[in-house]
Structure 1
Amino acid sequence: MIIGGFAAQAQAQSNVTIYGLVDVGMVSERGGAAGSVTKVTSGIGGQSRLGFRGTEDLGNGLSAIFQLEAGIKVDDGTLDNTNSALFNRAAMVGLKSKDAGTLTIGRQQTMLYNALSQVADPFGAGYAGSAKNLFPTSGNLTRVSNSLVYTTPTFSGFTIDGQYALGEQAGSSEAARQFGLGMAYSQGPLNVRVVYNNRNNDTVANGIVTERDTGKNTLVAMNYDFQVVKAYVAYGTNKGLNSAPLPVANAFAYRVAPTASLDSDNILVGAQIPVGAGTIMTSYTRKNDKTNFNQDADQFAVGYLYALSKRTGAYASYAKIKNKNGAGYTVGNNNEPGTGDKAFNVGVRHSF
C-alpha cells in the first residue's frame, strides 16, 4: 500500500511526454559535380526525431526537467546521426526555478543555432531556403556535448543565457572548450536575439598541446509580426578558425577547392506571408568573405507551407545560390548540405 501510494503521488507530480516529428519528401538538386540528383530524403524542413521530455514538481517553485531526443530517417527507418550516439540531438537533465532560472547539463543546442533557427530565418533553418546554406552552423556551432546552460527568468520580456562546454581533452583545460552568451527580448509582435559564441580549437596529442586560432561568432536576429506579413532580418560576423566551416569541401569539383573563410559576415532579410491556410516563405541571404579570396555568395529562396491540420503540413521550396570567385556553397535543407547550387523540394511533415 505504501508503494502504491508513493507511485500515485509521484505520478500526480510528474509528467513525461513522448513527442516527435516525421518529415519526408522529394529533393531535386542541380549544378554540382554530382550532376542531377533526385532522391527521397528525411528531415527536409526539420530533422525527423523521436524524443522524451519530462518534469517533476519538487515544490516551492522548483522542478526537475529532462530531455532525450534522437534523430531518425523516415526514408529507411534508420537512426539519423553521424557520431553513433542514440540521443544525438539532445540529452540533458536539470533544474528549473520560477525565481532563480533554469540550469541544464548535457548535450544541448547552442544559443547561436537557436537564434538563427527560431528568430532569424523565415524558413526555420529548413527546406531549400535554409539560412544554414550560408550562415555557419556545422558541427559544434549547432549543438555541443558536455555543456552547462543557464537561463534567467523572464524580466519584462528579457532573458539572458550562458553556456559553457568542457573540452575534456587530457592535458589541457582549454582545448576544445566552448562558451556562449545570449540575450533575448520577446514582447508582443517583436522578437530579438543577440548571441556570441567562442570555440577553442586547440588540439592535444600525446600530451602535447597545439595552440590554434579561436573561432568567434556573433549574431543579431530580429523578426516583427505585422499580421499581414512577418518580417525577418539578421546580421552575423564570423572570425577565426572554424568560425565558418564549409558544409561541403568541394561540391563543384573545382581544380582549386574553396577555402573556408576566417573573416566573414552574413546578412539575411526575409518574410513569412500568410495566405489562407498556408504561409509563403521567402528570403535573401548573403555571405561576404572579407579575406583575400573574396569568395562571396548570394542565395534567393521561396517556399510554401500549407497547413492540412495543426500538426500536419505539406510544403514546397526552391533556392538558388550564386557563388563568386571560386566559392563552393550548396543548396541543402535542414538535414543535408546539398550537392549543387540550386534545389527544389516537396514533402509532408507531421508532428506529435
Structure 2
Amino acid sequence: MVGTLLFPAAAWAQGSVTLYGTLDMGFLYTNKSLDVATGQNSGKQAELISSAMEPSVFGMQGQEDLGGGMKAKFKLESGISLANGGFDNSNENLFGRQAWVSLWSNYGEVKAGVQYSPFILALFDSDPRSMAQFGSAITVYANNTFSGTFNSNAISYTSPKIAGLTASAMYVLGGVAGDFHAGRQYSASLKYEYGGLMVNAAVDDESNSNDAAVNGSFFTQPFEGRTVGVAYRFATVNVKASFTNYKGPQMVVDGVTSGGDSNVWNIGFDYFALPELDINSGVWIVRDPHDSNNHSMTWALGTTYFLSKTTSLYAQIGVVNNHGADVYGLDRDGAQEGVKGTTMGASLGIVHKF
C-alpha cells in the first residue's frame, strides 16, 4: 500500500499536478444551544470541531500547456471532517466541493463540472472575514440556502480582466430525464478593480427548479440571490460592505425553519496589524422585508497569528441576536442554528495547509 501511494505521488510531481489541503481543528463554546425538538435553549455547549475557521479540505489540481497560449486545467476537491474522518463542507460526495476540467486562454476560461457559482464567489470577495466558518457571510448563507455553493452539471465562462472588469457566467443543467427545467440554474457576476477599489455585483437564479428529487436539500432548492459589494484597501486595511437579498422557500430541517426572504447588510474590515498578525471583524444585519418582527444581527471578531507560511493559530469571538422566526447561529459546523435572544460564543484553533 505504501509503495502504491508513493509511486503516483512521484508521477504527479512530474505531470505538474499538485496535492493540497487545509486542516482546521478547533474548540467551540457558545453560552446557548438549540434543542431541535423544542426549538428552545438547551444550555451551554463546548465541543471540539473540524473547520472552526476554514473548511478542512483535501484535493489535487494540475494543468498542461497545450501551446498557443492555451492550457488545460483540472481540480478535484473533497471536504473532510477532522472530527470523524467523514465528508464535511461539501455535497457529501467524494469530490463534492470541486470536480472540474477547463480550457484557459487569453480569451478567458471555460470550465465544466462541479464548481462554485459566480454568486458565491462574489459573496466571498465582499466578505470582510473571508467567509470564516464562524460569524461571517457563510453562517448567514447557511441559514437561507446552500444553493449555488457546490454546483453539479455546471458550465461556466470567466473573461480575462479588461480595463479592470471581469465577467463570469454559469449555467447548470438539471440532469433530470424528461424535465428540462428541474435543477436548472443561472448565475453571473461582474467585478471592477482599480487600485485599491473593488466593486462587484452578482445574481443567482434557480427559481425554475421544480423536481422533488433535485430539490431535497439546501444545495439544490429553488432559490434567487442578488448581491452588490464594495471594498477599498488602505495600505494594510481592507474595508468591505455589501447588500444581499436571498429568496427561497422556507424549509424545516431537524425541526428548525430556515430560508424565506431575507435582506442582509454587511460592513467590516480586515487589518494586518503585523505581517504575521491578521485582525478582521464584521457585522451582518438580516431583516425579513415582509415581516419586520423577523430580524437578526451577527457580529464577530477574529485574529489569526501565522506561525509559518503553512501553520497558523486563531481566536474568534462573536454575538448573534435573533428575533421572531430567525434562528441564525455562530458557526457553520458546530452551531449553524441558534435560539431567540442573544447568543455569545468563541472558538480557538489551529490551521495547517500543505
Considering fraction of residues, name the structure with more strand: 2
1:274 maps to 2:281: no
Equivalent residues in 2 for 1:8-157 (5 A)? 14-32=15-33, 33=35, 34-80=42-88, 83-98=91-106, 100-117=107-124, 119-135=125-141, 138-157=145-164
Deviations 1:95-141 (A, max 9, x none): 1111x210010000111211122x11121111422222224663323
Aligned residues of 1:197 and 1:216 also touching (Cα < 8 A): yes
Q: Following the alignment from structure 2 to structure 1, what is the Cα–Cα distance between the partners of residues 155 and 253?
A: 27
Q: Following the alignment from structure 1 to structure 2, what is the Cα–Cα distance between the partners of residues 343 and 215?
A: 30
- 1:345–1:216 distance in 2 versus 1, CA, 3 Å: same
**Corresponding letter in the other structure for 1:126:** A
Q: RMSD in angstroms over aligned alpha carbons?
A: 2.6
Normalised by the length of structure 2, the TM-score is 0.84
Deviations 1:22-60 (A, max 9, x none): 111101123233422211111122111111111011110
Q: Following the alignment from structure 1 to structure 2, what is the Cα–Cα distance between the partners of residues 106 and 16?
A: 18
Deviation at 1:11, TM superposition (A): 8.9
Deviations 1:44-90 (A, max 9, x none): 22111111111011110111110000111223333326654100110
Deviation at 1:311, TM superposition (A): 1.8
1:222 maps to 2:230: yes
Match of 2:3 in 1: none
Single out whichever of 175-184 and 24-33 deviates more from structure 2.
24-33
Match of 1:318 in 2: 317
**Corresponding letter in the other structure for 1:314:** L
Normalised by the length of structure 1, the TM-score is 0.84
Match of 2:345 in 1: 343
Equivalent residues in 2 for 1:139-288 (5 A)? 139-204=146-211, 215-241=223-249, 250=256, 258=257, 260-262=259-261, 264-276=262-274, 277-288=276-287
Deviation at 1:294, TM superposition (A): 3.4
Deviations 1:288-323 (A, max 9, x none): 111136311011111111111222211111111111
| Count of residue pairs brought into register by the alignment | 325
Q: Following the alignment from structure 2 to structure 1, what is the Cα–Cα distance between the partners of residues 333 and 199?
A: 22
Q: Following the alignment from structure 1 to structure 2, what is the Cα–Cα distance between the partners of residues 224 and 334?
A: 30
Q: Alignment partner of 1:170: what SS?
A: coil
Q: Following the alignment from structure 1 to structure 2, what is the Cα–Cα distance between the partners of residues 297 and 147?
A: 33
Single out whichever of 175-184 and 273-282 deviates more from structure 2.
273-282
- 1:82–1:97 distance in 2 versus 1, CA, 3 Å: closer
Single out whichever of 170-179 and 181-190 deviates more from structure 2.
181-190
Deviations 1:235-282 (A, max 9, x none): 11223536xx688753xxxxxxx56323x2111000112222312111
Aligned residues of 2:73 and 2:103 also touching (Cα < 8 A): yes
